[in-house]
A and B are shown apart, each in its own frame.
Chain A
Amino acid sequence: MPNVAKGDGMRGLAVFISDIRNCKSKEAEQKRINKELANIRSKFKGDKTLDGYSKKKYVCKLLFIFLLGHDIDFGHMEAVNLLSSNKYTEKQIGYLFISVLVNTNSDLIRLIIGSIKNDLLSRNAVHICLALQCIANIGSKEMAESLAPEIPKLIVSGETIDAVKQSACLCLLRLFRTSPDTVPSGEWTQRVGHLLNDQHLGVVTAATSLIHTLAQKTPEDFKNCVSLAISRLSRIVTSSYTDLQDYTYYFVPAPWLSVKLLRLLQVYPPPEDPAARGRLNECLETILNKAQEPPKSKKVQHSNAKNAVLFEAINLIIHHDTEPTLLVRACNQLGQFLQHRETNLRYLALESMCLLASSEFSHEAVKKHMDTVITALKTERDVSVRQRAVDLLYGMCDKSNAEEIVAEMLAYLETADYSIREEMVLKVAILAEKYPVDYTWYVDTILNLIRIAGDYVSDEVWFRVIQIVINRDDVQGYAAKVVFEALQAPACHENMVKVGGYILGEFGNLIAGDQRSSPMVQFQLLHSKYHLCSAPTRGLLLSTYIKFINLFPEIKGQLQDVLRNNNNLRNADAELQQRAIEYLQLSTVASQDVLATVLEEMPPFPERESSILAKLKKKKPNVSDIEVVKEGKKSSNPPTLNNSAANTPEATPASAPVPVMAAAPAPVQSASDDLLGLSAGPAAAAPITNNFAAPASFAAPAAPAGGGGLLVDVFDTPPAQNNVSSALAPQAEENFFKFAIKNNGVLFENELLQIGVKAEYKGNLGRLGLFYGNKTSYPFQFFTPTVSCPGELASALNVQTKPLDVNTVEGGAQVQQIINVECISDFVDAPVLSIKFSYSGSMQQINLMLPVMLNKFFEPVEMDATTFFNRWKQLNSPGQEEQKIFKATFPIDSDTSRTKLLGFGFGLLDGVDPNPDNFVGAGIIKAQSSQVGCLLRLEPNMQAQMYRLTLRTSSTSVTTRLADLLLKLF
């Protein structure tokens, strides 16, 4: 039984908690709570003034009710009253209630700032500590502004007791994180370093955290801390466990403090002063030595504490990356852990060793453990441990072991967890390309990859193998042979058909001499897959067939039959139809010479960074760091398939387009680069026609002028024969701006289709549900909506579209599509939603602006008049203000304007402007990269039917964009 009567136990509270626990049902609990709430409310409202004890007890009960998950809408004032009590137990409950219930922009904070200040200046250390803890727990901006100046004094004053110093350090740290500008700089920053020498290790522990965070921002200001931290660390690691008494944990002296000091040192490069450097290296050696000593206790706490320090020491050794002996020793130590019986240690050793693999000093030492890591990959039960093993194998891979590692990873891929397959595919593809044993091995590896995990092979991977085959003429014949063999499997993945189709189209002639792979056999093999493939792949195969007409004139007839087949010539998919028509025409009218010129072998691609690497970096930002470090540190780059000197990741732009685009005419290329990453459908098909886009229209003059371009750029001028228009649909723009102040509604409607939107936004994230309703009684076929971010928008907005499960929308039916957006930085344009479908045989295209605008990532802010005007005054630099005076488009009505501004996302601040007709508002744009505060003033002029709009924000682009959006609303 719990000892409820212990100390200051509140009997009433204990009884209440017991009652709640005895409730048999949710309803009974709710009833008991309602009864209690009524009781407390009557006590608080009663005439009799409550004594401190009762007040404390009731506030505590309210807190308990809140923690059970119920809303509390009263009692705040009573809690605030408790703060001014002189009794610790009452004060503590008051502070606790406020810390737990208050959210940062509550009015309550302003009320309590006075009480907190009183306690901060009190002579009672217990009260000071309560106040500091409360500030550290809430840490709001208001608190930072009014209280931060008080804290440094407490930290550096000689009169402050240790417990207060500890809390003050961490309290200041919290305020610094909330709002760095409010923390005053000054003489204290010079003195805070000396706390590392403090006698009280608790003070040192707290101060180290503070200094660590401050030093990350301005390392220069805290440089003197390096030597102080080293000498403190040295005293700890050389002490025996009896020296530090209270701070020894299971025979390990001050493990937490040691870790914190070692982390602080990782902010800086190795010390230049040889004495300090020597002393630090001694510390690190001692820590490594201790790991070899027999344990002083069998308890896991002992080894955990010891190893916490050891791993952090290894992190520092890796961070410095200058001491070969230490690096190799670290590696050997981790090697022992790889076979430890504790899963935690094996996991951490794999993780840490992955970092060591990137150092030139320890790379070789890491490689010795390959077999153990491979065993881990096969036998570990915890998937996160296996994941670390994959990372480490990737990290330790080089020319000498690539063949084995790639083989092991491929073998593992067959049974790997779904969650890590895609990443593994990318890793295998990169390793195979980076450290090729020879090119035939490379081709084999990628084809195996498609065979084993075709679903996880992204476009980048198969584009890349084609790029490399085209650039290396010594591998082309081999590639043709193996893809031909791979295609003979009864069930082969569509990605295999794509690679096969492309390679045979280019190099099928190299194996045509063999009867078993004669032109006819090749064609029949490919065509046997044709009907099972999606439209983009079929498009690719049609291109292969026209190339075959050039390569193998002897089977021209059969190929033309396929092109002439009504399934293709009258296909509902405009893309396939057009290819069939143009290719058929090309093969009929062009002479063999013209054909040979048009369908000439693809020229080599310019060398560039592997697009796969770019993809992996996008997926795992932390991996890319390792990659770059590794590349940067090695004196010479390992040989890669593209032996180009400029091929280091740093030297090439990150946006690596797909290989085939290189052959496109220059002006088209720039337009298609952006598209490719976003709309996989047309992109996969587009490249194939690029290299003869112009001749195609030459050979088939009947085709509309823009016909070639259509395949490349869905926004380009469309051909006339279909009802396909790339211009924005009528009224799209007007509808678009309506969504500035609402999240749900109809985005588009014509006689065929209605598109509804339901959106939710939170912080920098948004989720849109699009509802496509077929208003007719006939199905829409090949219904493909795609969303793209043109131009700069691609880097400002991250848009993820879930493809539709179906590509047919039945008559009268509705399908839903979810789109996730993430705002990276502020932006102007809207993503383009392009919908293509075939309706009773004619192709329809509708282009719309997706209603995602900057103010969707806007959150209202409440503030009082003083704060508002202070901020307003601060934002007076050029570009921060935008003022517009304009004629009202809609009738001026106070309530409507209010609704519009609230819908737009502003928090309206009443009573700030002396004129009640004017509106004053504030809000924050939450982008991932930055948050921009915005202030607004809108002054209507009824007589003139005009408005004056003034906006101030800290970012010029945000000011302009918000002003433009607002202008459209009034």
Chain B
Amino acid sequence: MIRFILIQNRAGKTRLAKWYMQFDDDEKQKLIEEVHACVTVRDAKHTNFVEFRNFKIVYRRYAGLYFCICVDVNDNNLMYLEAIHNFVEVLNEYFHNVCELDLVFNFYKVYSVVDEMFLAGEIRETSQTKVLKQLLMLGSLE
């Protein structure tokens, strides 16, 4: 299962943190810093998977943003790697060419997108069409 999802920029600023496990605030901050230290030193020749404590991080870099998913060691790496991409494509469609600032100014909407696609640490919906249709419907509500 997914333990947490993080979106961070190269400078280490968090653009989204979604937790599926209980951590207290100090622990969250520590995890955020450790993950940043762990993924930013890696280059394109490295794998997209890093062992991390008793878990592993599956991550992918888009321009200046790192999208990281922390999962169990025996989880399917490629499935989560593509889940990241699927999520990014939805964001891209939803925000019409998404950029980092969209995530800053519309942080509360990003949480809605996450909850449509991932819930309780599991993948909830994978169809981009269905997710976007639902988001469009919600966006039209008052």
Q: Which residue of B lies closest to A262 (CB)?
A: B76
Q: Which residue in chain A gives the minimum CB-CB distance to B115?
A: A133
A257-B46 Cα distance, complex, nearest whole Å: 28
Q: Does A89 contact B (CB under 8 A)?
A: yes
Within 8 A of B (CB), among A238-265: 245-247, 249, 254-257, 259-260, 263
Q: Tell me whether A133 and B119 are in contact (CB under 8 A).
A: yes
In the complex, the answer to whether B47 meets A205 with C-beta atoms within 8 Å is no
Q: How far is the CB of B117 from chain A (nearest CB, A)?
A: 10
A246 near B123 (CB under 8 angstroms)? no
Q: B139–A8 contact, CB under 8 A?
A: yes
Chain A residues with CB below 8 A from B115, complex form: 133, 137
Check B124–A206 contact: CB distance below 8 A: yes
A157 interfacial by beta-carbon distance below 8 Å: no
Give B94's nearest chain A residue, CB to CB. A6
Main SS class of interface, B? mixed
Whether B108 pairs with A93 at a CB distance below 8 angstroms is yes
Contacts A173-B122, A209-B122; A344 near B104 (Cβ below 8 A): no
B82–A249 CB distance below 8 A: yes
Provide the bound-state CA to CA distance between A209 and B76, in Å: 14
* A236 contacts B by Cβ under 8 Å: no
Residues of A within 8 A of B40 (CB): none
Stretch at the interface among A60-68, A512-520, A638-646, A795-803: A60-68
Q: Decide if A256 touches B79 in the complex (CB within 8 Å).
A: yes
Partner of B78, one of A104, A139, A304: A304
Give the chain A neighbours of B101 by CB distance below 8 A.
1-2
Given contacts A21-B104, A133-B115, contact A343 B124 (CB under 8 A): no
Contacting residues, chain A, for B107 (C-beta < 8 A):
64, 67
Question: Restricting to B28-81, which residues have a CB under 8 Å from any CB of A?
Answer: 29, 42, 45-51, 73, 76-79, 81
Chain A residues in 8 Å Cβ range of B134: 163
On whether the beta carbons of B79 and A170 are closer than 8 Å, the reply is: no
Is the CB–CB distance between B24 and A103 below 8 Å?
yes
A633 to chain B: closest CB distance in Å?
20
Contact B105 A87 (CB under 8 A): no
A4 within 8 A of B: yes
* Chain A residues bordering chain B, tally (CB within 8 A): 69
Cα(A87)–Cα(B102), bound, Å: 24
State the Cβ distance, A366 to closest chain B Cβ, in Å: 20
With a cutoff of 8 Å between Cβ atoms, the chain B residues found around residue A60 in the complex are 108
Given contacts A170-B119, A347-B47, A384-B50, contact A2 B105 (CB under 8 A): yes
Q: Are A126 and B141 in contact (CB under 8 A)?
A: yes
Q: Are B130 and A246 within 8 A (Cβ)?
A: yes
Asked if A549 is an interface residue, CB under 8 A from chain B, the answer is no
- Given known contacts A2-B104, A308-B82, A166 and B124 CB-to-CB distance under 8 angstroms: yes
Taking the nearest CB of chain B, how far is it from the CB of A254, in angstroms?
A: 7
Partner of B76 from A163, A174, A245, A311 at Cβ < 8 Å: A311
Q: Do the beta carbons of A88 and B141 come within 8 Å of each other?
A: yes
A298 to chain B, nearest CB (A): 15
Q: Chain B residues near A245 (CB, 8 Å)?
A: 129
List the B side residues contacting A139 at CB < 8 Å: 120
Q: Do residues B82 and A301 form an inter-chain contact, with CB atoms below 8 A?
A: yes
A383 to chain B, nearest CB (A): 9
Query: A residues within 8 A CB of B128?
Result: 246
**Complex alpha-carbon distance, A21 and B100, angstroms:** 13
**Contact A311/B124 with A381-B46, A384-B49 known, Cβ cut-off 8 Å:** no
A246 to B82, CA, bound (A): 16
Are B141 and A256 interface neighbours, CB within 8 A? no
Whether the pair B123, A201 counts as a contact (CB closer than 8 A) is no
Identify which of B48, B99, B139 contacts A2 (C-beta below 8 A).
B99
Interchain CB contact under 8 A, B95 and A3:
yes
Shortest distance from the beta carbon of A247 to any chain B beta carbon, whole Å: 5
Q: A60-B108, A89-B141 are in contact. Are A382 and B46 (CB under 8 A)?
A: yes
The reply on A348 being an interface residue by CB < 8 A is yes
Known: A17-B104, A247-B127. A167 touches B78 (CB 8 A): no
Which range holds the interface residue count of chain B?
35 or more
Residue B92 CB within 8 A of the other chain: no
Q: Is A170's CB under 8 angstroms from B122's CB? A: yes
Which residues on B sit within 8 Å (CB–CB) of A304? Answer: 78, 81-82, 85
Q: Please, how many angstroms separate the alpha-carbon atoms of A347 and B47 in the complex?
A: 7
A788 neighbours in B (Cβ, 8 Å): none
Digitize B8-32: 1 where CB-to-A-CB distance is under 8 Å, 0 elsewhere: 0000001001000010100001000
> Residue A307 at the B interface, CB < 8 A?
yes
A171 within 8 A of B: yes
Given the interface pairs A3-B96, A104-B22, the reply to whether A88 lies near B124 with Cβ below 8 Å is no
A538 to chain B, nearest CB (A): 41
List the B side residues contacting A100 at CB < 8 Å: 111
User: A343 touching B108 by the CB < 8 A rule?
Assistant: no
Query: Across the interface, do B47 and A305 meet the contact criterion of CB distance under 8 Å?
Result: no
State the CA gap A263–B76 with chains docked (Å).
9
Contact B108 A259 (CB under 8 A): no
Chain B residues lying within 8 Å of A381, measured Cβ to Cβ, are 45-46
CB neighbours (8 Å) of A4 from chain B are 105-106
Are the C-beta atoms of A136 and B120 separated by less than 8 Å?
Answer: yes
> Within the assembled complex, what's the spacing in Å between the Cα atoms of A768 and B7?
35
Task: Collect the chain A residues with CB atoms within 8 Å of residue B78's CB.
Answer: 304-305, 307-308, 311, 344, 348
- A87 contacts B142, CB within 8 Å? yes
Partner of A7, one of B51, B86, B139: B139
Answer whether residue A396 sits at the interface, using C-beta atoms and an 8 A cutoff: no
* A96–B108 CB distance below 8 A: yes
Q: How many whole Å from A835's CB to the nearest CB in chain B?
A: 33
Which A residues are CB-close (under 8 A) to B113?
Answer: none
A92 with B120, Cβ < 8 A, contacts A205-B125, A301-B85 known: no
A901 to chain B, nearest CB (A): 22
Q: How far is the CA of A343 from the CA of B42 in the complex (A)?
A: 13
Please state if B124 and A92 are interface contacts (CB–CB under 8 Å): no
A169 → chain B, closest Cβ, in Å? 9
> Contact at B76–A312, with CB atoms within 8 Å?
yes
A-chain residues with CB within 8 Å of residue B129 when the two chains form the complex? 245-246
Once the chains bind, are B76 and A259 in contact (CB under 8 Å)? Answer: yes
The yes or no answer to A14 lying at the interface (CB within 8 A) is yes
Measured CB to CB, the closest approach of chain B to A72, in angstroms, equals 11
A696 is an interface residue with CB less than 8 A from chain B: no
Closest chain A residue to B142 by CB distance?
A: A87
Asked if residues B123 and A88 are in contact (CB atoms below 8 Å), the reply is no
A719 interfacial contact with B, CB 8 Å? no
Residues in A neighbouring B142, C-beta threshold 8 A: 8, 87-89
Q: Are A126's CB and B138's CB within 8 A?
A: yes
- The verdict on A202 contacting chain B, using a C-beta distance below 8 Å, is yes
Q: Note all chain A residues with C-beta closer than 8 A to B14.
A: 67
Once bound together, how far apart are the Cα atoms of A103 and B95, in whole Å?
31
Q: Is A385 an interface residue (CB 8 A)?
A: yes
B24 touches A205 (CB 8 A): no
In chain B, what residue has the closest Cβ to A132? B119
Q: A3-B96, A301-B85 are in contact. Are A171 and B119 (CB under 8 A)?
A: yes
Per-position contact with B for A371-404: 1 when CB-CB < 8 Å, else 0?
0000000000110110000000000000000000
Q: How many Å lie between the Cα of A170 and that of B116 in the bound state? A: 12
Q: What residue in chain B is nearest A97 (Cβ atoms)?
A: B108
Q: Using an 8 Å CB-CB cutoff, how does the interface string of A692-724 with B read, 1 for contact, 0 for none? A: 000000000000000000000000000000000
Q: Is B120 a contact partner of A171 (Cβ separation < 8 A)?
A: yes
Docked CA distance A96–B106 (Å): 13
CA separation between A103 and B45, bound complex, in Å? 40
- Would you list which residues of chain A between 331 and 378 have a CB under 8 Å from chain B? 343-344, 347-348
Question: Given A2-B102, A88-B138 in contact, is the A344-B126 Cβ separation under 8 Å?
Answer: no
How near does chain B come to A353, taking the closest CB pair, in angstroms? 15
**Which residues of the other chain, A, contact B81 by a CB distance below 8 angstroms?**
304, 308, 344
12 residue pairs of the A-B complex, CB under 8 angstroms, read A17-B105, A69-B29, A92-B138, A96-B108, A174-B121, A205-B124, A305-B78, A307-B78, A308-B79, A348-B77, A382-B45, A385-B47
Closest 8 CB pairs of A and B: A308-B78, A174-B120, A246-B127, A88-B141, A209-B122, A170-B120, A170-B119, A2-B101
Extra A-B contacts (5), CB below 8 Å, given A311-B76, A384-B46: A67-B17, A93-B108, A301-B85, A347-B47, A382-B42
